[in-house]
Amino acid sequence: MKKLLLTDGNSMLFRAYYATVYGKPMTTKQGLPTNAVFGFASMLQKAIDIVKPDGMLIAFDAGKHTFRHELYADYKGGRKPAPEDLVPQFQMARDLLDAFAVKWVEMQDIEADDLIGTVSAKMADEYQTYILTSDHDMLQLIDDTTTVVLMKKGLTDMDLMTPDALREQMGIAPLQIIDMKGLMGDKSDNIPGIPGIGEKTAIKLLQEYGTVENVLAHEDELKGALQKKIMAGHESALLSKTLATIRRDVTLDLSDDDLVFTPDYSGVVRFLKSLDMNMLAQRFAGYITEEAPAEEEKPAETAVSALRVNRIPEEMLKEECAVYIDETGGSFLTAEANGFALANASGRYYISLEDARSDTALLAYLKAETPYKTGYDIKRNMHLLKKAGIEITFHDDAMILASLADSTLTSTEKIMEKYGLSTAVSREEVYGKPSKPLLIIDEELQKEYACSSAENIRKLKELTMPDITSRKIEKLYREIELPLSPILFEMEEVGIRCENAILNRIADETLAKINAEQREIFDLAGCEFNLNSPKQLGEILYDRLGLPSGKKRSTSADVLEKLAGVHPVIDHIL
């Protein structure tokens, strides 16, 4: 059966905006904001890659007023206006779709949800429909021919919601979503529901009575505060259910041919370049077929030697490689792997963790003793891959090699600077700042960063190994430093057993010694003072006790050591 992809353009654009607004500013050379369009295009293509649709339609809201406002004037009340830098991007998103040759539709007084509901019902005999959304209202449309692709975080984290999946997760049927909204309301749309009724209570009532109407009809069976809430909320519950119900009967001037998906990737590339979105244009250029008349775009296809694949080429796995583990960052205790980048003289490839788990040849290569594999900070990589359930055998660690070659290189930044290495894009451009991570990861940038990092590992080994050999410390590297990495990894995994009783005893004994020394110091000084205050200590030593001092009257340990023997208090202080 043919597949149809439907989505709410407004909702998707808002999601794209807030997922990218906290990262690096995205504008044209004239200062026009483009971050939401960037996210919109990225998410849309990701959905196309997943669903592989034969047909597609994007629905937009035409304005703020809808027929639901006639039923309830405060519908969607309290919503803040769209951010100023998002407003121009609504038209830009429509222009993008035009360039893409993707059909989009809008209608006065009708919401995008109702247009999607109508098309999914109309095409039920011809298409298996997939609705891409983060809006739980759409779950009511699920049936045997309609699946909701529910975005949870960005687009990479999502659930395929079928009738069985919905019942398993929530315990209700698709059509009961509107009954649930009738009882509990919906704050995002300002649907009132019955005050005091939450999701758990609503679901429990629906599991017993089936519909809002049936709950109201059996209110006499309820007890206590719940009964009072239900009895007082008849009108609000029925209104709320009506507001939450997606229409499936809108009259649409839409032909079957309008839905056919025949993308114009050359048009998309030209449009993105007109907005100075050149990196994203390169990504879309990769979808242009050989038959497409896109001579000017061919350099963009071949400009980037790194490739994103779902299987690593077999020829690559016959040779020694540098392996970079693309990951979330932060502490190794919480960090997780995203994928692998492999690099050698033959090429550079990126594969996601999900695809890597299905690539049996790659898994065997990673685990095997040969060919050799070089990593960077292999101890950290061991933690990442243990969580991922993947075994790997590293034969060299470029980080350790660089540190042995020059002991002053105590960070990745110093190592990269020393050897003149850099990545095509920064990590921050790919993942955002630790305090403001990007929710949508651009796969083109991710691939570029990871493959550049793998290439740096390869180069770093080539640059440092001759120095290690000439200084005759290869034995130190091979027999002590490298073997120590898995030992430290195991220690960090297992942890260190601590006997609280012994630690408490040591703490008590140490405190007693400190208190005894402090009393002795106070007796010798003839008064009590704050030992942790350099000012007070200086006054005691140099004014009260008359010890010799320099101009700075320092109380640092190296200065006091020179005064040892001049006065007995010094030995106790030290």
Higher model confidence: residue 385 or residue 153?
Answer: 385
Higher model confidence: residue 408 or residue 500?
Answer: 500
pLDDT band at 303 (very low <50, low <70, confident <90, very high): very low
The number of beta carbons lying within 10 Å of the beta carbon of residue 376 is 26
Give the Å distances, CA to CA, from 123 to 104, 119, 120, 254. 16, 6, 5, 11
Asked if 321 contacts 344 with a C-beta cutoff of 8 angstroms, the reply is yes
Tens digits of residue pLDDT in 253-278: 888 889 999 999 999 999 999 998 88
Residue 557 has pLDDT above 60, yes or no: yes
Residue 153 has pLDDT above 70, yes or no: no
Give the Å distances, CA to CA, from 10 to 65, 197, 221, 272. 15, 29, 43, 20
Of 296, 224, 254, the C-alpha closest to 6 is 254
Dist CA 509 CA 486 (whole Å): 36
The number of beta carbons lying within 10 Å of the beta carbon of residue 388 is 19
Of 6, 262, 247, the C-alpha closest to 123 is 6
Amino acid at position 68, single letter: R
CATH class, domain 2-256, is alpha beta
Residue 213 has pLDDT above 80, yes or no: yes
Q: Which CATH architecture fits 307-494?
A: 2-Layer Sandwich (3.30)
pLDDT average, residue stretch 426-440: 89
pLDDT band at 298 (very low <50, low <70, confident <90, very high): very low
Q: Where are the domains of the chain?
A: 2-256, 264-302, 307-494, 509-573
Q: What percent of the chain has pLDDT over 70?
A: 96
Tens digits of residue pLDDT in 96-112: 999 999 999 999 999 99
Q: Give the three-class secondary structure for 162.
A: coil
H-assigned helices in 368-442: 378-388, 398-405, 412-418, 427-431
pLDDT at 301: 33
What are the phi and psi torsion angles at 437 (to 5°)?
Answer: -70, 150
Tens digits of residue pLDDT in 159-187: 789 999 999 999 999 999 999 999 999 99
Q: Which residue has the tokens 């050379």?
A: 29
Q: Which residue has the tokens 């919401």?
A: 111
pLDDT average, residue stretch 120-131: 94
Give the Å distances, CA to CA, from 296 to 95, 288, 292, 302, 307. 21, 12, 11, 12, 20
What are the phi and psi torsion angles at 323 (to 5°)?
Answer: -120, 120
Dist CA 382 CA 161 (whole Å): 35
Copy the structure tokens of residue 544: 């009260």
Encode 337-350 in three state secondary structure. Answer: EEEEEEEECCEEEE
Q: Which CATH architecture fits 509-573?
A: Up-down Bundle (1.20)
Q: Give the three-class secondary structure for 292.
A: coil
Tens digits of residue pLDDT in 4-55: 999 999 999 998 898 888 776 789 988 899 999 998 998 899 889 889 999 9
Asked if 35 contacts 17 with a C-beta cutoff of 8 angstroms, the reply is yes
pLDDT at 302: 34
Q: What is the pTM of this model?
A: 0.56
Give the contacts of 59 (CB within 8 A, at least 6 positions apart). 6, 7, 8, 9, 104, 105, 106, 112, 113, 115, 116, 119
pLDDT at 154: 55
Q: Give the three-class secondary structure for 153.
A: strand
pLDDT at 43: 87
pLDDT average, residue stretch 341-353: 94
DSSP letter for 436, please: E
